[in-house]
Amino acid sequence: MRFLVCLKQVPDSTVKVKVGAGGKAVATEGITWSMSPYDEYAVELALERKDADPTTVVSVVTVGSARGRDALRQALAMGCDDATLVNAPEDLPALDVAKALAAVAKEMKPDIVLCGKQASDDDQGLVGPAVAEFLGWPHVGMLTKAVSSGDAWELWREVEGGHEVWKAKPPVVGLVHKSDKEPRYPSLPGIMKAKKKEIPEKDLASLGVTASSPKIEVAAMDLPPQRGGGKIFKLDGDAKAVAEQVANLLHTESKVL
Amino acid sequence: MTPPTQGIWSFVLLAVTLIAAAAFGYRVWHLYRLLRLGKDESRLDHPWRRLRDELVVYLGQRKLIKRPYWIRGIGHALIFWGFLVITWGSADLLLRGIVGWQMPFTDTVWYAWMLDFFAVAVLASVAVAVLRRAVLRPARMHRMPEGYVILGLIGFLMLTLVVFESAFVASRRDELGGHFGTPPPLARLFAPLIPTPTGGALFAGAWWAHVLTILAFAVYLPRTKHLHIVTTLFNVGFRKQTPRGQLSLIKDIENQESFGAATIRDFSWKQLLDGYTCTECGRCSDNCPALATGKPLDPQKIVLDIRDQLLREGPKLLGAKLNGTKANGDAATPPSHWVETKPEELWACTTCAACVEACPVTIEHIDKIVDMRRHLTLMEGAAPPESQRAMTNIERAGNPWGEPRDARGDWAQGLEIPTIAEKPDAEYLYFVGCAASYDRRNQRVARALATILKSAGVSFAILGAAETCNGDPARRLGNEYLYQLQAQQNIETMNALRTRKVITSCPHCFNTIANEYPQIGGNYEVTHALPLVRRLIAEKRIALSEAGAGAPGREATTDVVAYHDPCYLGRHNGIYDEPRAVLDAIPGVVRKEIAPHHRERGFCCGAGGGRMWMEEKIGQRVNHRRIEQLVMADTKATKVASGCPYCLIMLEEGVGAKGIAEQVKPVDVLELVAARLQQNTTQGSAPN
């Protein structure tokens, strides 16, 4: 059984986001980058299968700048078997990214391609379904678990109030929402091995991808307005009296009534 | 005294003695070989301190005679000192019996008196010890039968000693002309009860019984926990002389292949010796906050698990070592199994050092626990999931909360606190730490300290966003790698500064920077804020007045303040007096103790050792127990003061959960000081 997990390196969730000079993108100077959280879940979900069946091979791939190597190393440290970096400009349109990923999948012939359901930076949620489309494979979204059953896979999807279990025959593309366990913390030997592992590079041309898809242009980017400080009122009296005063304040102060 | 070993009997005694010596020696040799299965570790630094420890801790029994074990401790010391005095006499008996030589001083009057004094003292102590085990049945003691055998042997030795001494004097009544002359005093007392004719036989019988019991004791001893009589000598001599709060460094970590301890071969010989030395007294367990609140951790079991596995599997490992050829090397070594200690026991530890403090024979519990945690975290990636989140946060954001790295200095906004980049010639660097940087409650403590330092005219600056977590939580969670990365980053930053003087308001930052950074090239003059403030008060650089005094319309108030000892100030670094001195120097503050759980018996808040970053699902929460102790101590305190951000967070949660948040307010001592500064220029904090 072979998994191919598609990763994206994004600004870490602990970074205090600032808008860059042009007012159209996040300032990225000196910030910490990490693997997008849904992609971490995807890696964990695949590795849980590898835990159950050690013959499983888990490959990871990312499309973008050299910085993406760190995300690949993180995945290797967690226990993935091999990693591929597809060199591409940072602003490659999402559909071209999907084409590149589909081309890699065609070469590797995995049984399942996993993507995080969306990247935590731009939250487009576009690449995963597009990869399925370019490959002509079925795709299943909101995955939380994948269990092999005979020649098919039981794919668990989180839905309102519970789970749906779909069955799919490989090859299939899955978009991961969460994993059973939290993504694993890499062991130190894992980190050291990952540091030494070679990460082959590919470029778009060798995959037969030309950047031709329409590009999204961000018109403007702003931080949400700062919230004003609240006011604290000291109210006396029994519940009824306090409730009256609150109602009064909602009318006179905040003018919501 | 002529021994009853004329003729052939001296050869019999010689033979029996040799057999006993061989049985003793064989066992000791075996134990020594097992010990050598452990890793090498040098314990020869600070020879004078080691000598001092032998005198004070081994001979002086210093760690036995302490609160709350005064009586039992004195009882043990009497038996031990008696053992030393009487062993001298026993050697004398054997020498005289076999070759007719004698030990020095054994004929002196003062030795006879000493011998008899200890015979009585030991008998009395043995009686008390038996009664205590039989009647009081302390829960912390496990192997009762073995204890009874030993106590019985000791008691029998004393009785036979008194009997043969008395019988000897009685048998020579005629020779001595009716008066028994000079001591032994006990003999003088009891000899009149023994008729002269039976004296000779009784003497021979009791003498042989005494001598054979000594030899039996020598054979039995190294096969029981009473081996500690011997091993304590070495365990004390080889105890850790580095600071208690310093964990061992994994050198060249990036090029090692295995980390921490999972089997007995991963521990050092000294850690294995700890197992031989454990007397199973249970004082460690008695004082453990995790055990007290129903966690699966029992520090005594940690030590005994390792010892038991060594005794059980060590011989097989030794055999394999002998049979293994050089060609296949370690392949012949059978797999050594996990010690029986379970991960949930290890994760329950707060590294508060109550066990280490309580142990009379200087066993090092925390180091073993952290070594086993290192295996779990570094080799298996198996730290509890919540703590993994904290570690990822430290890795990516430089703080376990996962707050933005950039925002580290935000607490100081508007307070005119310079960064060290802005004020490179500052006398002190204030290393703020993650809690005071990001936790809203503890930001008030940082502001309080800044106010005090400004008021005293102390020149200081902070690192701001250039500071990163000191690494303590990572290190104590077993993640030595992450610790070293954080520490190296800070050391690189701090070594580039002009000042070497560092202030911390967090005992964990203090302990790590003062005691652990020197291991990897960070040597600074570190002080926790409370000793510094103590000095500022003594030097009259800050003046304090009663809260509210002078303010129009307000009367001076009195605060009754209970002091809670943070483990990493107190037990780990011996800072007990300075925080109390600061409290005592504050006008209008009446200091109270949370007795008996104060000073070196202070009870942990539950957050140390990385516990801050784990859920506490088993048993009672440690901080809730702490609040119960505060209530029980009946101090009438309106505030409970500490000197640690973790303690503050835990105490805040505790008073809330226990529903006494209105009666007792947790504060940091620094906040109390800041609130009473004269001409308080503070924009900073006043304790609520």
CATH code, domain carrying A129: 3.40.50.620
Which residues of B are less than 8 Å from A181 in CB distance?
A: 385
| Domain residue limits at A252 | 227-257
pLDDT value at A23 more than 70:
yes
Q: Give the closest of B257, B259, B391 to A185, CB-based.
A: B391
pLDDT for position B323: 61
Give me the DSSP letters along B18-83: HHHHHHHHHHHHHHHHHHTTSBP----S-HHHHHHHIIIIIIS-TTTS-TT-HHHHHHHHHHHHHH
Q: Has residue A213 been placed in a domain? A: no
**Pair type for strands B428-431 and B460-462:** parallel
Helix ranges (H only) for B377-476 are 380, 385-397, 433-438, 440-455, 472-476
Q: Which residue has the tokens 């031709």?
A: A212
pLDDT for position B685: 43
More confident residue, B328 or A136: A136
Verify that A163 and A44 share a domain, yes or no. yes
Verify that A127 and A235 share a domain, yes or no. no
User: Distance (Å, rounded) from C-alpha A83 to C-alpha B26?
Assistant: 58
Verify that A129 and A168 share a domain, yes or no. yes
Q: Has residue A79 been placed in a domain? A: yes
Q: Which of A9, A188, A192 to mutate to test the interface with B (most CBs of B within 10 A)?
A: A188
User: Distance (Å, rounded) from C-alpha B30 to C-alpha B32?
Assistant: 5
Residue A229 carries which DSSP code? P
Give me the residues of chain B with pLDDT under 50, please. 180, 325-334, 680-688
Which residues of A are less than 8 Å from B407 in CB distance?
A: 16
User: Distance (Å, rounded) from C-alpha B506 to C-alpha B471?
Assistant: 13
| Number of CB atoms found within 10 A of residue B323's CB | 9
Cβ-Cβ pairs closer than 8 A, A with B, add up to 51
ipTM here: 0.88
pLDDT for position B554: 53
Is B383–A186 a contact, with Cβ atoms under 8 angstroms apart? no
Is A182–B389 a contact, with Cβ atoms under 8 angstroms apart? yes
Residue B339 carries which DSSP code? P
Q: Give the closest of A15, A32, A187 to B378, CB-based.
A: A187
pLDDT in tens, B188-210: 888 888 888 888 899 999 999 99
Verify that A187 and A240 share a domain, yes or no. no
Q: Which two three-digit tokens encode residue B593?
A: 């103790």
User: Distance (Å, rounded) from C-alpha B599 to C-alpha B354?
Assistant: 11
Which residues of B are less than 8 Å from A188 in CB distance?
A: 253, 259, 378-379, 481
Q: Has residue A52 been placed in a domain? A: yes
Verify that A185 and A235 share a domain, yes or no. no
Is A187–B380 a contact, with Cβ atoms under 8 angstroms apart? yes
Q: How far is CA B168 from the centre of its chain?
A: 48
Angle at B609 between CA B605 and CA B610, to 5 degrees: 95
Verify that A154 and A81 share a domain, yes or no. yes
How many domains is chain A built from?
2
Which residues of A are less than 8 Å from B405 in CB distance?
A: 14-16, 32
pLDDT for position B680: 45
Q: Has residue A215 been placed in a domain? A: no
Nearest CA in chain A to B400: A14
pLDDT in tens, A163-219: 999 999 999 999 999 998 899 999 999 999 999 999 999 999 999 998 888 988 899
Q: Which two three-digit tokens encode residue B299?
A: 């520090």
Q: Has residue A199 been placed in a domain? A: yes
Q: How far is CA B515 from the centre of its chain?
A: 16
pLDDT for position B143: 62
A65 within 8 A of A44, measured Cβ to Cβ: no
Verify that A93 and A59 share a domain, yes or no. yes
* Closest-CA residue to A48 (of A9, A8, A1, A106): A1
Q: Which residue has the tokens 């309102």?
A: A160
**Is the peptide bond between A171 and the residue preceding it cis, with omega within 30 degrees of 0?**
yes
Residues of A with CB under 8 A from a CB of B: 12-16, 32, 34, 181-182, 184-192
Verify that A240 and A164 share a domain, yes or no. no
Q: Has residue A138 been placed in a domain? A: yes
Verify that A250 and A189 share a domain, yes or no. no
- Supply the pTM of this predicted model: 0.92
pLDDT for position A128: 96
Verify that A15 and A89 share a domain, yes or no. yes
CA distances to B66, B590, B608, B650, B651 from B595, rounded to whole Å, are 15, 15, 21, 19, 17
Q: Has residue A245 been placed in a domain? A: yes
B630 within 8 A of B599, measured Cβ to Cβ: no
Residue B137 carries which DSSP code? -
Which residues of A are less than 8 Å from B253 in CB distance?
A: 188
* Closest-CA residue to B651 (of B629, B670, B624): B624
Residue B525 carries which DSSP code? E
CA distances to A11, B403, B450, B467 from B408, rounded to whole Å, are 18, 8, 16, 8
CA distances to B34, B171, B502, B566, B663 from B673, rounded to whole Å, are 56, 78, 20, 18, 20
Which residues, including other chains, have CB under 8 Å from residue B141's CB and lie 6 or more apart?
A: B133, B147, B280, B281, B282
CA distances to B107, B149, B157, B158 from B152, rounded to whole Å, are 28, 5, 9, 10
* Closest-CA residue to B497 (of B449, B462, B456): B462
Which residues, including other chains, have CB under 8 Å from residue A64's CB and lie 6 or more apart?
A: A8, A9, A86, A88, A90, A92, A97
Which residues of A are less than 8 Å from B404 in CB distance?
A: 14-16
Please list the residues that pair with A167 across neighbouring strands.
Answer: A154
Q: Which phi-psi region, left, alpha or beta, contains residue B404 (left: φ > 0; alpha: ψ -120 to 50)? A: beta
Q: Which phi-psi region, left, alpha or beta, contains residue B417 (left: φ > 0; alpha: ψ -120 to 50)? A: beta
Q: Has residue A216 been placed in a domain? A: no
pLDDT for position B679: 62
Angle between helices A69-78 and A188-196 (to 10 degrees): 130
Verify that A199 and A100 share a domain, yes or no. yes
User: Distance (Å, rounded) from C-alpha B561 to C-alpha B617?
Assistant: 31
pLDDT value at A228 more than 90:
no
| Number of CB atoms found within 10 A of residue B258's CB | 13
Verify that A242 and A167 share a domain, yes or no. no
Q: Which two three-digit tokens encode residue A206?
A: 């060798």
By CB atoms closer than 10 A (0-12, 13-18, 19+), residue B423 is middle
